[in-house]
Chains A and B, each alone.
Chain A
């Protein structure tokens, strides 16, 4: 990515970086991959509905919602990591930082650009779900997915910047995301009636609880059952989204901290 001083001076530098980050994504294979995901998921959902004996519509909506969410997360994480590591390897980052732009502005600009791509992706993925879901429920799902993708972009950018290696960054992002989606179930198992009361088992429970404190509650957002049974009431929806938003701030702060200390 090249930013000319002339273009950078047209507005806040972070916005210029964000714009070029979004343009880079739109000119890559990402839009085609996203379109292929939509077609593949719709095809699979159509096939499954043919073998369902009841709830065919619910099956299509829930499976499409769940798979499109997973596709969106994978695409955003892979794109962010690939883009950030390529920029570091090509020395594009050094070139960009030689321009009159602060490190925080550059990092925030990149994140904003990736978040915009996430929002575009969530809009594209929400469109086919209009076939089966009520617009208001879908709006809740869409806004939640957009925020979730911003969080995934923040995690991927942080790990790409900190770990530098592509595979390590993707694995770390996937690990954080999967733990975020399953930690509530892990806690339920750890605290269930079958769990023993020995010291080792209690220690395991504390470790799981401590781990949960450091993870976002991703199982509480962008749920495909919102498309079937309706979005949760505001009292439940807003805190879930606020939790993800808070974690987004935490990841951004961690990323800024690491990026500011980085020796290029």
Chain B
């Protein structure tokens, strides 16, 4: 095997000078070209139509678990640029739901699509889009209630506090009670309806839910814990700002 720079190679001085110049110049132009077209996160309009679950299965080459997670990382980059003040708001939610459905279909045991749907996409400040995502969560919950109840529990909180739609929140809570019947589902989740009806603000409810999820051992992933903690802090800041605004 020949090795670059091995002792049996001829000295560098043997290389014609023009070749060295072309090499250095090409390297410099290559690096410079990247600086001139530095691209950020893909725009909302760049999100293509979702493939069918079967096409995605074919593309996975027998590795659906890996492809499902990679697809989620790719999907969450759309419309999420750092210069974007309201991320995900411009996304086509019908197309987005189709992507999430296809990803969930190739790895039904992955929690990523429903977690992203509940914690990122449903929290967008557009009631129509938010409802679309809640509807997606509720439909997918029905396929595996004992595994997917945390997403619907969060959907119930969004329905109550963001959409101010108490009947919808109670419907989701009732669905958890009726369908998530495994022993692993904690009591507080089964009694979600009582929790919904209590006079709590969004922050208190979110804190109770996060504490409940931690106690139930549902959050073992460091990234998930970090994300949820960050969301809680964001919520706290937002409610404080709203309170300050209303007292002025």
Do A and B form a real pair? yes
Asked if B61 and A219 sit within 8 Å, CB to CB, the answer is yes
Q: In whole angstroms, how far apart are the Cα atoms of A219 and B64 in the complex?
A: 10
A143 located at the interface, meaning its Cβ lies under 8 Å from any Cβ of chain B in the complex: no
Asked if A229 and B109 sit within 8 Å, CB to CB, the answer is yes
Asked if B58 and A186 sit within 8 Å, CB to CB, the answer is yes
Q: Report which of B54, B67, B72, B227 forms a contact with A189, defined as CB distance below 8 A.
A: B54
Q: Report which of A28, A29, A54, A182 forms a contact with B112, defined as CB distance below 8 A.
A: A54
Residues of A within 8 A of B116 (CB): 53-54
Most chain B CB within 10 A, of A51, A54, A65, is at A54
Chain A positions 36 through 74: 1 when the CB is less than 8 Å from some CB of chain B, otherwise 0: 000000000000110111111111001101110100000
Interface residue stretch chosen among B91-99, B137-145, B218-226: B218-226
B114 nearest in chain A by CB position: A54
Asked if B69 and A63 sit within 8 Å, CB to CB, the answer is yes
A64 nearest in chain B by CB position: B66
Asked if B111 and A63 sit within 8 Å, CB to CB, the answer is no
Asked if A56 and B62 sit within 8 Å, CB to CB, the answer is no
Asked if B223 and A178 sit within 8 Å, CB to CB, the answer is no
Asked if A58 and B61 sit within 8 Å, CB to CB, the answer is no
Chain B positions 56 through 98: 1 when the CB is less than 8 Å from some CB of chain A, otherwise 0: 0110111111110110110010000000000000000000000
B120 located at the interface, meaning its Cβ lies under 8 Å from any Cβ of chain A in the complex: yes
Residues of A within 8 A of B54 (CB): 185, 188-189, 192
Asked if B65 and A53 sit within 8 Å, CB to CB, the answer is no
Interface residues in B190-248 (C-beta closer than 8 Å to A): 221-224, 227
Looking at chain B's contact residues, the main secondary structure is: helix
A223 located at the interface, meaning its Cβ lies under 8 Å from any Cβ of chain B in the complex: yes
B110 located at the interface, meaning its Cβ lies under 8 Å from any Cβ of chain A in the complex: yes
Residues of A within 8 A of B188 (CB): none
Given A58-B110, A186-B58, A219-B61, the answer on whether A65 and B69 have CB atoms closer than 8 Å is: no
Q: How many residues of B contact A (CB 8 A)?
A: 32
Q: In whole angstroms, how far apart are the Cα atoms of A181 and B4 in the complex?
A: 36
B161 located at the interface, meaning its Cβ lies under 8 Å from any Cβ of chain A in the complex: no
Q: In whole angstroms, how far apart are the Cα atoms of A79 and B58 in the complex?
A: 28
Residues of B within 8 A of A220 (CB): 62
B1 located at the interface, meaning its Cβ lies under 8 Å from any Cβ of chain A in the complex: yes
**Closest Cβ of chain B: how far from A153's Cβ, in Å?**
19
Given A54-B221, A54-B223, A54-B227, the answer on whether A178 and B61 have CB atoms closer than 8 Å is: yes
Q: Report which of B58, B62, B64, B112 forms a contact with A55, defined as CB distance below 8 A.
A: B112
Chain A positions 1 through 43: 1 when the CB is less than 8 Å from some CB of chain B, otherwise 0: 0000000000000000000000000001100000000000000
Asked if B63 and A62 sit within 8 Å, CB to CB, the answer is yes
Asked if B61 and A225 sit within 8 Å, CB to CB, the answer is no
A58 nearest in chain B by CB position: B69
Q: In whole angstroms, how far apart are the Cα atoms of A243 and B187 in the complex?
A: 46
Given A55-B111, A63-B70, the answer on whether A49 and B223 have CB atoms closer than 8 Å is: yes
A28 nearest in chain B by CB position: B1
Asked if B221 and A224 sit within 8 Å, CB to CB, the answer is no
Asked if B73 and A48 sit within 8 Å, CB to CB, the answer is yes
Looking at chain A's contact residues, the main secondary structure is: helix
Asked if B62 and A181 sit within 8 Å, CB to CB, the answer is yes
Asked if A53 and B61 sit within 8 Å, CB to CB, the answer is no
Residues of B within 8 A of A147 (CB): none
B76 nearest in chain A by CB position: A53
Residues of B within 8 A of A181 (CB): 61-62
Q: Report which of A28, A51, A55 forms a contact with B224, defined as CB distance below 8 A.
A: A55
B54 nearest in chain A by CB position: A189
Residues of A within 8 A of B120 (CB): 53
Residues of A within 8 A of B64 (CB): 225
Most chain A CB within 10 A, of B54, B62, B69, B112, is at B62
A228 located at the interface, meaning its Cβ lies under 8 Å from any Cβ of chain B in the complex: yes
A218 located at the interface, meaning its Cβ lies under 8 Å from any Cβ of chain B in the complex: yes
Residues of A within 8 A of B72 (CB): 52
27 A–B contacts, CB within 8 A, in A order:
A51-B73, A52-B69, A52-B73, A53-B227, A55-B110, A55-B221, A55-B223, A56-B221, A56-B224, A58-B69, A58-B110, A59-B69, A59-B70, A62-B69, A63-B69, A66-B63, A178-B61, A181-B62, A184-B62, A186-B58, A188-B57, A189-B54, A218-B62, A220-B62, A224-B63, A224-B65, A225-B65
Those 5 A-B pairs whose CB atoms lie nearest each other, nearest first: A219-B62, A56-B223, A225-B65, A66-B66, A185-B58
Taking A188-B54, A225-B109 as given, write out 14 further A-B residue pairs in contact, using a Cβ cutoff of 8 Å, ordered by the A residue number: A49-B223, A52-B69, A53-B227, A54-B116, A54-B223, A55-B111, A58-B69, A63-B69, A182-B62, A184-B62, A189-B54, A224-B66, A225-B63, A228-B65
